[in-house]
Structure 1
Amino acid sequence: MGSGDAYFRRYSLEDLASEYDVWLLAARPPVWEREYVAGWAVKDFGDAGALAEFVGRLPSGARPDGILSWVETLVGLSCTVAARLGLPGTDPAAIDLSRDKLDVRERLAAAGLPQPGFGGASTAADALRLLDDIGYPAVLKPRRLAGSCGVLRVDAAEDVTRRFEAVAGAEFFGVANPESDRVLVEELLVGDEISVDSACRDGVVTPLIVARKRSSPPPYFEELAHTVSATDPLLESTELRDLLQRIHDALGLDNLMTHIELRLTAAGLRLIEVNPRLGGGMIPYLGGLATGVSLPRVAAGIAVGEMPDLTPRAARVAHVELLYPDRDLVLESVEVDHRDLPEEVHSLVITKKSGDILRLPPEGNSNMCRYGYLITLGQTPEVCRAAAAKARESISVTGHPLSLEMVKTQL
């Protein structure tokens, strides 16, 4: 259900089509997706019952063995439709729970997992009262949004007063933030950030890849780069495996892929966020390059009730740099001098065109910030990162400042 952005999700659909007959339910007619699908239908995603009835009436050649989505706003719906049709999948209630950051904190605390100080706030005054106990620095997050939208660090009471409404009013297409306790206030976790994409089948959680993350400077948490190593020592960590299992058990997540974000703190691994889907930011693609295991095909195998083969077939390192301008601008051109690109460069993709508006946080979200991505492949993280740094010297971005009229149009 759904396909996502062509630049960032094409590989997922391509991987599925290499092993399965894929039928696409989408909100618009397919364009780039057509070469990968056996059939498609344009449907309204607002009515789960009507969708289930439609899928249930498909002719035998198109009747699904499983339903899958990696689109943030459609994961819960895909599980609801699968459940109504008696197909393999995850409890939709567990998906809904895991997408609510405050509910996740409360559920995991009740299960005895260590949590940072946290609470829900409807107003800036609520947040300030919570922070009297939690202390500074801290993090404010929209309760149910995604993609780091609206997430920021606060270091003092004046930061909360000035920025609370921006956090509470942040938007992510297709996701509604509740009015009550609409902002999660939590203690800042200090340490390197990682994400783990895992397969969960019949209650057993198996971490497949660990991505080491580099984020933007405070106060925002925009993802800038990820590095995936097939031999990352955390994959053998009993602490990590135990924590992942306990998180899945506490939230009731089973028979799915998850993308879980954590920090390596002085007190041990601590949860940042749970995502009941394949990771974004090209992370699953990096995993395939590094290990030889296709995470989209693993997800599809689980969706049809099979036990996928999780055996690594390669042992490399893959790294992605998500490309941002240094300021808000209207893009004029992106030029690449291919003569100076290191041999470790696997791909360099420009996702924006002349005339597109690029806006950094807080006004811009991840889709509005980036103009492309750069992937390097090698035997060590250091080699991949050095090659990426060298390759960035070959990229030139030109543009002109946003006018007041353009800003008003976006608002």
Structure 2
Amino acid sequence: MFIDERTKRVLLLMSPATYRAGAFVKAAQQLGLEAVIGLDLPQSLAELWHVPLGLDFANITISVQTIVEQARKQAFAAILSVDDSATELAAYANLELGLANNSPQASEAARDKLLMRQLMSAGGAPCPIFRSFWLHEDPEWIAGQVSYPCVLKPRRLSGSRGVIRADNPVEFLAAFERLKRLLLSDGASEQETSILVEDFIPGFEVALEGLLTEGQLKVLTLFDKPDPLDGPFLRRRSM
């Protein structure tokens, strides 16, 4: 798709509850860009709340079609994901419109904890022992298949939601039921949803922030996490 050099319009994909919206919109204004907001909302709610562009981030195919139709009316120079939940959608939409994009496959791997572990293991990167189990499987049987301490993880929730440490089978059963309730309340299907269980690795945690461009990593910063993440709940605090 041809984008005129004078086009200074970006599409920002975000969830209704994001705390990052203000920072992204302000940055766009400082750069002289027009920011169009794409919210993760059903079309009916988008119309009720007068949201110009409502999208279902879980339905990538339909959402990409909606974005392409919008781009025919007002061309975009870039499509950016403000939240983790839209990284795959942004990648596919940019690809469809011929814009600079992250690999959709890489975006999926970054979002799916099990797929990421599988790729890391296949590539020879060190990672904890891990296994996946279905929500509909017997938790008592699962508790006997894993070693302790372990960590239960949802495959796709962001912000470390649902990440719980268990030191023994009793704690595992409680953690499994808690995670299951969380996933079902979030719209997951018991028959089609699996979780990740991996060995707990003790130690301090650091975070590396960087940009990867054409296979070249530029490190921006490396910093210590402020609190030890020993559990039982391993959700990270906002900094």
Fold in common (TM above 0.5): yes
For 1:44, which of 36, 44, 55 is the aligned residue?
55
| TM-score computed with the length of structure 2 as normaliser | 0.76
Q: 2:124, 2:173 → 1: CA distance? A: 33
For 1:119, which of 131, 134, 137 is the aligned residue?
131
Give 2:102's aligned residue.
90
* Structure-to-structure mapping, 1:238-387, within 5 angstroms: 281=238, 320=239
Report the residue type matching 2:236 in the other structure.
E
Give 2:111's aligned residue.
99
Give 2:4's aligned residue.
none
3-state SS in 1 of match to 2:79: coil
Aligned-residue RMSD, C-alpha: 2.8
Percent identical among aligned pairs is 23
Give 1:284's aligned residue.
none
Report the residue type matching 2:178 in the other structure.
A
Deviation by residue 1:235-270 (Cα, 9 ceiling, x = unmatched)? xxxxxxxxxxxxxxxxxxxxxxxxxxxxxxxxxxxx
1:211 aligns with 2:226: no
Deviation by residue 1:202-228 (Cα, 9 ceiling, x = unmatched)? 11111212232125663111324xxxx
For 2:203, which of 180, 191, 194 is the aligned residue?
191
Give 1:63's aligned residue.
75
Deviation at 1:6, TM superposition (A): 6.5
Count of residues in Structure 1 that have an aligned counterpart in Structure 2: 210
Q: Which 5+ residue runs of structure 2 have no aligned equivalent?
A: 1-11, 42-50
Report the residue type matching 1:86 in the other structure.
G
Q: Which 5+ residue runs of structure 1 have no aligned equivalent?
A: 30-39, 225-280, 282-319, 321-411
For 1:22, which of 34, 49, 72 is the aligned residue?
34
Deviation at 1:169, TM superposition (A): 2.9
| TM-score computed with the length of structure 1 as normaliser | 0.46
Report the residue type matching 2:198 in the other structure.
E
Deviation at 1:11, TM superposition (A): 2.0
3-state SS in 2 of match to 1:167: helix
Q: 1:147, 1:162 → 2: CA distance? A: 21
3-state SS in 1 of match to 2:70: helix
Deviation at 1:158, TM superposition (A): 1.1
Q: 1:211 to 1:81 in 2, by over 3 A?
A: same
Q: 1:172, 1:17 → 2: CA distance? A: 39
Give 1:74's aligned residue.
86
3-state SS in 1 of match to 2:106: helix
Deviation at 1:168, TM superposition (A): 2.6
3-state SS in 2 of match to 1:43: strand
Q: 2:96, 2:107 → 1: CA distance? A: 15
Give 1:169's aligned residue.
181
1:222 aligns with 2:235: yes
